[in-house]
Structure 1
């Protein structure tokens, strides 16, 4: 939601420009000057506050409404002696902006994290409603309204859990193994691999004059696409990415929702990076190398995404091409976002294969999240109403490496020494 605070000169200038643009007036015209003076007067009032972040800032114009006036009768000495009828000069209340957030679900997610740092995003696949979007820990927005104290602000700035930063929307991270869903879809969509084709995993694979390790030092043996996703086999996806190529992978990543800053009606938001040759030449200043594709295969290297983008990815995999675009504002304010890449239609069987692999992750023995989720059941006692009775969940685990682990930091089995 954000917070409000007393307006500074930069805020007053910004709101003056917005107000003039809304009524199509120039600061040089008489009407524009009068409007600008009224805006400055309003925001300099001791009791007036302006939105500084979140929806409070994005929707400032809609939320503040229009100030009213009161007719007062004064005598010759300027003393107010009566208050006259002023109904025709009454102010107009601001818009009632309704969010899609489920407050109970949001609070539950926050409580589950306790003092830990993290974020949760949940999107209703049928409606596109963002029903949960939290980042923890987070400061009390009321602390900013009258000006936050320097001691408290410094403690927030130096807290290693980054409470001043919305991890779900502003946090850009390597997606790690969650990106394997994209590589799998790209391999099938491009025809580079079939679902039945197997790759042998011995725990490491040799590409371009060096070994790339699988997270499981002893390897996974022969795995197909379903097993590759279920067991999150790195060696399978090294091979899949090599055969598919970065251009096809980048195309599917965008179709799945990565590489776009979603306009939700709040401040902030990051694009992340969906790298390919053109991206690397522009951003890094050098060509794309084959080894870069191997790193991208497991969501490392130059690939980055926000938790919100990964939620969109999961929603599109679950809902298919008809999945509505995500939104946070249900009513009260229009929030256009016309540059979202559509998912489009995939070849028959592609999305189904990815869904099946994700089901294997959580709900089949051997899946990387199977033991944590007690077999993937969200209704082990069969207590939920239809169609959720005995329902299971699907997903993709992922742990991103943020730096190279040197040989000297690994044990004899290739595992990182803690």
Structure 2
């Protein structure tokens, strides 16, 4: 049946509308597609270019060079040495198993190290480097570099690591660095991105720890182009970081070495101080340890050996060790009584060998007694009974006030962690800390440096310097920071009666230079370098027993403090030998050697010693392991 013209026309109109709609739809789609392509290729070109570059351009942090540490004369005591290592990042570790097998073949990477790498990669961020091996030899490093195509993702790096050329000598002062641990991070509020770099070294003890912020420096940055295998093709951009500042300490490397060598074999500490500036020239503590062991990663066996050593090699005894000062405290009691006006230098006290208080006897070290003694005689003979009497006359409050004025019971601002403030007790302290009233017996014990009184070797050196100068000497360990000299703090007059101080100094002089003094055998023969000092023997047990009849750990501590030259003081010295026995027989000879070294700037001449002792001194110096200027052990004792 034929269609009518009307039907044909209507059908044509429908087809035209459909074609127009379809064509319009196609045109709109093409327009949208074109606009989208323009948006992506023009408007978002930079963003997509960046996304593409991120597949081949990597950003790296550049660890800064750690600041160096020098002694007072410019000798390096903490430096940075070049090291070779290889690292890998999680985002480049797609063929880790193959890489580790190849490294085991090339450099002998142990299985336990391979497991460590796997564990660290699991915890690390995508771009954080994980150290596969550190401190490689040049041969091993070259082998890895030459086999780069077979080690996708592995990057050889040349870095810096801390090194201590003088080994044990400055272990307790300078300290050491080590890799950042989770414990370190847990103590930080604002974590420097550098700390996220595995094996990044931070200060762990000593000045390295206390001055971490200035020694560390600031990170730099590096942009590199990598290929599909993670190998670096070229360096695109580098911004060097800021190295840490350099520090110069007040300590003298040769004097420090002499102190460590002289104290060798003892559990002991000694401090040498310049009485004019407060500069610490040496702060020894023995036994010591090699800080380089910690930098490289000390073994558990070696660390446990240090922990279990009863001579305690890890703490710095010069500032962390607090001891009863014994008779070295008697100058404090004497000055307290003199300043309080309850005694004059000429007044005498009769010593019968003991004092009885409330039915209890307080004995003098000399059971037969010293007879009548005045101030100078009480120091010369170290008479306890004289100071028992001074304690009753002056009272603990005056004694405690004088102790603090002379530097005891104070915590000094030094670049060392864990500084002990010691203890200068009074009535209020005992009430708050022991819940009991102060009694007369407490005062008598305190008067001779026993009971609750505690002092560090550093504090005893400060006390001696203040007695020698009548000035508020403060200890200083930092000489300059990045070449800028640091201010000398303190030094104001103490305001003590100079006539009274002169009598105390005279007593200290006779301790060493009178043939009846307790340290006469430790005298110096040269009239221009005569020394004044005080012996001390601090009990560590209540029973009075000969030190030779008890185990080492129960023996008395031996102490000695001194300044010299007597007529024009330049240096103060304090020595504490743990469980050493007698201050006169053990600590005083050490202090004399240290003082003479400071005065002469070298191993002391034999002429400074009594002729009867010179052969013994000669042999002692010959046996002392001193370092030469390169840090190697040698013997520089004089014949």
The TM tier, using the shorter chain, reads 0.7 to 0.9
Q: CA deviation at 1:256?
A: 0.4
Query: Residue deviations 1:267-289, cap 9 Å, x none?
Result: 11111111110010011111100
Which of 324, 342, 363 is 1:213 aligned to? 363
Give the conservation status (yes or no) of the 8 Å contact 2:268–2:286.
yes
Cα distance in structure 2, aligned partners of 1:198 and 1:320: 25
Decide which structure has greater helix share. Answer: 2
**Alpha-carbon distance change, 339 to 128 in structure 1, aligned in 2, over 3 angstroms:** closer
Q: What is the DSSP-based 3-state SS (H/G/I as helix, E as strand, rest coil) of the residue aligned with 2:256?
A: helix
Cα distance in structure 2, aligned partners of 1:337 and 1:172: 28
Which of 475, 480, 484 is 1:331 aligned to? 480
Higher relative contact order (CA 8 A, sep 6+): 1
* 1:396 lines up with 2:569 in the alignment: no
Partner of 1:2: 175
Cα distance in structure 2, aligned partners of 1:293 and 1:255: 18
Give the conservation status (yes or no) of the 8 Å contact 2:318–2:456.
yes
**Alpha-carbon distance change, 401 to 346 in structure 1, aligned in 2, over 3 angstroms:** same
Decide which structure has greater strand share. Answer: 2
Question: For structure 2, which runs of at least 5 residues remain unmatched after alignment?
Answer: 1-173, 548-555, 557-639
* 1:57 lines up with 2:195 in the alignment: no
TM-score, normalised on structure 1?
0.84
Give the conservation status (yes or no) of the 8 Å contact 2:325–2:454.
yes
Q: What is the DSSP-based 3-state SS (H/G/I as helix, E as strand, rest coil) of the residue aligned with 1:206?
A: strand
Query: Residue deviations 1:194-221, cap 9 Å, x none?
Result: 1000001111121221111111112111
Give the conservation status (yes or no) of the 8 Å contact 2:480–2:486.
no
Superposed, 1:335-354 pairs within 5 Å as 344-354=494-504
Q: CA deviation at 1:341?
A: 11
Cα distance in structure 1, aligned partners of 2:330 and 2:473: 23
**Alpha-carbon distance change, 55 to 301 in structure 1, aligned in 2, over 3 angstroms:** same
Which has the larger Rg?
2
Cα distance in structure 2, aligned partners of 1:246 and 1:338: 32
Partner of 1:242: 392
Give the conservation status (yes or no) of the 8 Å contact 1:254–1:341.
no
Q: CA deviation at 1:161?
A: 0.8
Which of 438, 460, 470 is 1:288 aligned to? 438
**Alpha-carbon distance change, 140 to 403 in structure 1, aligned in 2, over 3 angstroms:** same
Give the conservation status (yes or no) of the 8 Å contact 2:332–2:402.
yes
Aligned residues: 375
Cα distance in structure 2, aligned partners of 1:407 and 1:307: 25
Query: Residue deviations 1:288-315, cap 9 Å, x none?
Result: 0011111111101111111111111001
Cα distance in structure 2, aligned partners of 1:276 and 1:57: 34
Query: Residue deviations 1:381-400, cap 9 Å, x none?
Result: x5xxxxxx632001110000
Give the conservation status (yes or no) of the 8 Å contact 1:255–1:341.
no
* 1:168 lines up with 2:318 in the alignment: yes
Cα distance in structure 1, aligned partners of 2:254 and 2:420: 27
Q: What is the DSSP-based 3-state SS (H/G/I as helix, E as strand, rest coil) of the residue aligned with 2:530?
A: coil
Partner of 2:424: 274
Question: For structure 1, which runs of at least 5 residues remain unmatched after alignment?
Answer: 21-35, 383-388, 410-415
**Alpha-carbon distance change, 266 to 285 in structure 1, aligned in 2, over 3 angstroms:** same
Q: CA deviation at 1:354?
A: 1.4
Q: CA deviation at 1:325?
A: 1.3
Superposed, 1:34-73 pairs within 5 Å as 36=191, 39-40=192-193, 42-73=194-225
Query: Residue deviations 1:88-147, cap 9 Å, x none?
Result: x11111111111111111111111122111000011011110001010001211222233
Provide the alpha-carbon RMSD of the alignment. Answer: 2.8
Partner of 1:91: 241
* 1:146 lines up with 2:319 in the alignment: no
Cα distance in structure 1, aligned partners of 2:334 and 2:265: 36
Q: What is the DSSP-based 3-state SS (H/G/I as helix, E as strand, rest coil) of the residue aligned with 1:131?
A: strand
